[in-house]
Structure 1
Amino acid sequence: MNQELHYVQQFYELTIEFLTNYSFQIIGALIIVVIGWFFSKYIFNLLIRFFSTHDFDVTLGKFVANGIRILVFGAMVIVAIGKLGISIAPFLAAVGAIFLTAGLALQGTVANFAAGISLVISRPFKIGDTISVNNIYGIVEEIKLAYTTLRTEDEEMITVPNKNMIGEVIVNSYDYRIVESSVGISYHDDAEKTIALIKNVIDGFENLSGDNKSIVGIQNFGDNAVEIGMRYWVPTRNYFKTQYEVNLAVYKALNDAKVTIPYPQRDIHLYGQNPVA
């Protein structure tokens, strides 16, 4: 019992001695950390307000503001560690070793973050644009450092890792997506009048792009029909809905104008000797 009391007494004395010798350093370090936290937060809010008032890209603005905030707070933490009398050089070496080990263990994640930084800097697309990458179409909903989220017409959310975007062909059609289709008409029908008829039907839809006019013309000369090609731009959120409505309207217009939509035909000729009686 006496030995245990002796240990408690020693611990108490060491604690009092430590607080007496280092109390001001500890308090000073804590004050520096708290000041660094609030100062970094203030810098972040200041930068966000600055970027918003100067029409800066939202994604790039948040990335820059967060990066500066982390740097400011990290610098204040290093100053606080120095205030405690701890050598910073071994600490930095240990942090570097930890980051190197983590980087080797999380190569895929690191690649996504590096690709995200490249996307934020180069900005091949922004939130609200319609992009196609790796045969995936969608409206850009959110751009993160690790991944990009796309929303489809069916309200599906597609998460694309950023490393799968770097080095790939990215098609950015902004607010609209192009529809490419065709319809065949008989060689006996007037192709010029049919083209004008189809173009009038397509241009009658109000929700199509006003900047990119529809294009209608002879696309190909088939074996049984003249193929009339149609190209027009529709809002991405109503891509399939508008395409189906346009196809139905074109079909009705061709029927009303007595334009023939032929089907494949083959003439078969049989050659042989007359049967013996």
Structure 2
Amino acid sequence: MDQPNLDLELAQLQNAYSLITEFLVQYSFQLVGALLIFLTGLWVASKVANLVTRLFEKHEIDITLSNFTSNLVRIIIIVMVAVICLGKLGISVTPMVAAIGAASLGAGLALQGMLSNYAAGVTIIVTRPFVVGNTIEVSGVNGVVSLIKLGQTILTNEEGEQISIPNKLIIGEILHNSFEYKLVENTLNIDYQADTAAIITIIEQAISQSDNVNKDQKILVGINGFNSIGIELGMRYWVPTEHYFQAKYQTNQQVMLALKQARITIPCPVREIQIQH
């Protein structure tokens, strides 16, 4: 290697060494101070987040909202500490804040649907129109609430299907909450000459003897209407949502057996056909 080139490289190394040494001498205290502030900020963020979680647990506020709030508090504190550390190092955060604001606006517009779901999820958790285990009907679907997330609510039905509903489709809609039970409505016809009071009593006793029927809710059996076949009786009773169809079919079977034992027949439609020669 030529001597001039070697001298040039040595000079470059000397300049680099001088710059690093000067930087460390000038900014060493700022670097150490910024590092200490950041580590302290992480510790404070963790402590405050845990404090928020304990406060939410003390007041028995939903765990989903508790986790969301504590994480949000932790992030806010860390961001504030990071800004302080950058200022300690002499780095201007104004352009960065402007860039973050512009990026946040763009991201907010792009994720508008997701953010509205999160806002609706917070509303559901705070107002508690339903909780896990309730039976709800909303947006044309129904099932048992198995999980409430910030973005969506998960329902399950008797077939084991999982139904995910975005939370924004729940808030502002007509919501039916029957808690853990669901209403069964049935009708049957009896003859106009039959003793309606006796038959109503037989049906009520058959329904009340079913193990699947909720006894805390009043069982209703009565005359629902009149038609060309006969007198239409209506039945209303509540069964557990998780076993809705099973309970309904078993109760219907018990009603039919009770009517059969009482020798009560259900009239069938009769059509007259005239054949012209």
Whether these two folds match at TM > 0.5 is yes
Say if 2:80 is the partner of 1:75.
yes
- In the alignment, the residues of structure 1 paired with residue 9 and residue 230 of structure 2 have an alpha-carbon distance, to the nearest angstrom, of 103
- In the alignment, the residues of structure 1 paired with residue 207 and residue 13 of structure 2 have an alpha-carbon distance, to the nearest angstrom, of 90
Counterpart of 2:242 (choices 234, 237, 244) is 237
Say if 2:61 is the partner of 1:56.
yes
The question of whether the paired residues in 1 share the 8 Å contact of 2:62 and 2:125 is answered with no
| 1:131 partner SS | strand
Counterpart of 1:266 (choices 250, 253, 271) is 271
The 5 A counterparts of 1:126-165 are 126-165=131-170
| 1:260 partner SS | coil
| 2:238 partner SS | strand
The 5 A counterparts of 1:171-182 are 171-182=176-187
The 5 A counterparts of 1:34-49 are 34-49=39-54
| 1:264 partner SS | coil
Shift of 1:131: 1.0
The answer to which of 187-196 and 41-50 deviates more is: 41-50
Query: Structure 1 residues 201 and 58, CA, compared in 2 at 3 Å: closer, same or farther?
Result: farther
| 1:148 partner SS | strand
The answer to which of 37-46 and 243-252 deviates more is: 37-46
Structure 1: unaligned runs, 5 residues or longer: none
- In the alignment, the residues of structure 2 paired with residue 9 and residue 247 of structure 1 have an alpha-carbon distance, to the nearest angstrom, of 96
Paired letter, 1:154: E
User: Which position in structure 1 is the counterpart of 2:227?
Assistant: 222
Shift of 1:72: 2.8
After TM superposition, which residue ranges in structure 1, 4 or more long, deviate above 4 angstroms?
A: 3-9
Shift of 1:207: 4.0
Paired letter, 1:256: Q
- In the alignment, the residues of structure 1 paired with residue 10 and residue 158 of structure 2 have an alpha-carbon distance, to the nearest angstrom, of 74
The answer to which of 91-100 and 68-77 deviates more is: 68-77
In the TM superposition, what whole-angstrom CA distance separates every residue of 1:111-164 from its partner, at most 9, and x where no partner exists? 222322332333322222211111211222222221111122222221111122
Query: Structure 1 residues 100 and 245, CA, compared in 2 at 3 Å: closer, same or farther?
Result: same
The question of whether the paired residues in 1 share the 8 Å contact of 2:41 and 2:77 is answered with yes
Shift of 1:8: 4.6
The question of whether the paired residues in 2 share the 8 Å contact of 1:130 and 1:172 is answered with yes
The answer to which of 242-251 and 54-63 deviates more is: 54-63
User: Which position in structure 1 is the counterpart of 2:31?
Assistant: 26
User: Which position in structure 2 is the counterpart of 1:184?
Assistant: 189
Query: Structure 1 residues 6 and 114, CA, compared in 2 at 3 Å: closer, same or farther?
Result: farther
The question of whether the paired residues in 2 share the 8 Å contact of 1:219 and 1:228 is answered with yes
The question of whether the paired residues in 2 share the 8 Å contact of 1:189 and 1:260 is answered with no
The question of whether the paired residues in 2 share the 8 Å contact of 1:180 and 1:232 is answered with yes
| 2:154 partner SS | strand
Counterpart of 2:120 (choices 101, 107, 115) is 115
The question of whether the paired residues in 1 share the 8 Å contact of 2:208 and 2:215 is answered with no
Shift of 1:102: 0.9
The question of whether the paired residues in 1 share the 8 Å contact of 2:155 and 2:162 is answered with yes
